[in-house]
């Protein structure tokens, strides 16, 4: 069997540790024959990403704080210096202040709202602009979202509003980048135990209720998110852009 991403170069942003969905995606990309570029946030994360990269087909490990324009400019420069086009980009990052995911949404501060939107939504626009010049053969940019963008999920709060902005940004980017044969999509993953879920109140009971109520009677496996990311990044996804694919064991179709 030939591999789905053979000969492709894929950039993955957002690996924090081995539980990250970004890591499951990088593993799936690597399995399918892609050469990877990985980014990390801050000096503390560098050795973690380096260690995880050891088992993957990684050609470059680059620093990138998406809230810094100079980091994004340096990312473009590093990718240009590699002298090979980028075919796939996975944006798998988000952040909101912890207190904004625990207090009433009504109490969200201007600064907290801005931070969540900067890191979790605007970064998709900034990353797309940074990578587009090196996506000279066309390709695919994907992001991760969550159903809290369109439905009220307890405590998701400002992250839900930021994910709504991220999903809308995905559509606008898709409409503009389509003429360069760059597709832009989102994957809406069901809850997974990652650092992003750590400390979230009643997370275990959320997982339990999905296990009993979701059509597939189980929670989402990170590898399933990885395989959907492969589909979008591969030629199999060539007709899909501006869309949001739910990889959630079917949970989003359920009513009460
Ligand atoms: C996050 C908050 C509240 C409910 C939640 C989540 N549910 C799920 C998540 C039900 C599944 C995880 N999720 C989908 C996220 O997008 C999480 C983003 C996030 C998490 C943290 C925790 C640590 C921190 N800031 C964060 N910023 C964003 O300090």
Atom 20 of ligand 1, nearest CA residue: 196
The pLDDT assigned to 244 comes to 98
Residue 82: give its domain's CATH number. Answer: 3.40.50.720
For the chain, how many structural domains are there in total? 1
The answer to whether residue 118 is domain-embedded is yes
The pLDDT assigned to 230 comes to 99
The answer to whether residue 253 is domain-embedded is no
Determine contact, residues 145/167, Cβ cutoff 8 Å. yes
Atom 1 of ligand 1, nearest CA residue: 156
Determine contact, residues 86/11, Cβ cutoff 8 Å. yes
Give pLDDT tens digits for 74-114.
999 999 999 999 999 999 999 999 999 999 999 999 999 99
The answer to whether residue 255 is domain-embedded is no
Among candidate residues 23, 40, 122, 156, the one labeled active-site is 156
CA 164 to chain centre: 14
Q: What percent of the chain has pLDDT over 90?
A: 95
- Indicate if 172 belongs to the active site: no
Cα 196 to ligand 1 centre (Å): 5
What sign does the CA torsion over 204, 210, 216, 221 have? Answer: negative
DSSP state of 219: -
The pLDDT assigned to 165 comes to 99
Mutate which of 159, 201, 203, 214 to test ligand 1's pocket (most atoms within 8 Å of Cβ)?
A: 159
Atom 5 of ligand 1, nearest CA residue: 156
Mutate which of 67, 97, 200 to test ligand 1's pocket (most atoms within 8 Å of Cβ)?
A: 200
Give pLDDT tens digits for 40-73.
999 999 999 999 999 999 999 999 999 999 999 9
Which residues contact ligand 1 via a Cβ below 6 A?
Answer: 94-96, 98, 101, 146, 153, 155-156, 159, 191, 196-197, 200, 206
Mean pLDDT across 1-24: 97
Question: How far is Cα 146 from Cα 186, in angstroms, rounded to an integer?
Answer: 9
The answer to whether residue 80 is domain-embedded is yes
Among candidate residues 40, 122, 146, 172, the one labeled active-site is 146
The answer to whether residue 138 is domain-embedded is yes
Give pLDDT tens digits for 154-190.
999 999 999 999 999 999 999 999 999 999 999 999 9
State the burial class of residue 118 (Cβ atoms within 10 Å of its Cβ: 0-12, 13-18, 19+): middle
The whole-model pTM stands at: 0.98
- Indicate if 146 belongs to the active site: yes
Categorize the per-residue pLDDT at 38 as very low, low, confident or very high, splitting at 50, 70 and 90: very high
Cα 204 to ligand 1 centre (Å): 13
Determine contact, residues 234/4, Cβ cutoff 8 Å. yes
| Structural domain that includes position 47 | 9-248
The answer to whether residue 221 is domain-embedded is yes
The answer to whether residue 2 is domain-embedded is no
Task: Return the number of other C-beta atoms located less than 10 Å from residue 236's C-beta.
Answer: 11
Is pLDDT above 80 for 1?
no
């Amino acid at each position: 069997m030939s591999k789905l991403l053979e000969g492709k170069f894929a950039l993955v942003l957002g690996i924090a540790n081995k539980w990250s969905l970004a890591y499951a995606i990088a593993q799936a990309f690597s399995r399918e024959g892609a050469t990877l570029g990985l980014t990390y946030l801050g000096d503390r994360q560098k050795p973690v990403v380096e260690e995880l990269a050891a088992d993957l087909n990684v050609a470059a490990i680059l620093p990138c704080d998406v809230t810094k324009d100079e980091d994004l400019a340096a990312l473009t420069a590093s990718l240009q210096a590699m002298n090979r086009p980028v075919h796939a980009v996975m944006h798998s990052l988000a952040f909101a202040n912890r207190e904004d995911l625990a207090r009433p949404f009504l109490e969200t501060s201007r600064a907290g709202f801005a931070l969540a939107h900067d890191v979790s939504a605007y970064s998709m626009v900034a990353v797309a602009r940074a990578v587009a010049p090196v996506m000279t053969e066309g390709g695919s940019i994907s992001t991760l979202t969550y159903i809290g963008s369109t439905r009220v999920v307890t405590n998701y709060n400002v992250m839900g509003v930021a994910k709504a902005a991220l999903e809308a940004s995905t559509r606008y980017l898709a409409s503009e980048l389509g003429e360069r044969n760059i597709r832009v999509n989102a994957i809406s993953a069901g809850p997974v135990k990652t650092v992003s879920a750590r400390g979230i109140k009643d997370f275990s009971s959320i997982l339990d209720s999905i296990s009993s109520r979701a059509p597939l009677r189980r929670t989402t496996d990170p590898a399933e998110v990885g395989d959907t990311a492969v589909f979008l990044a591969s030629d199999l996804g060539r007709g899909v852009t501006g869309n949001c694919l739910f990889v959630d064991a079917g949970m989003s179709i359920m009513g009460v």
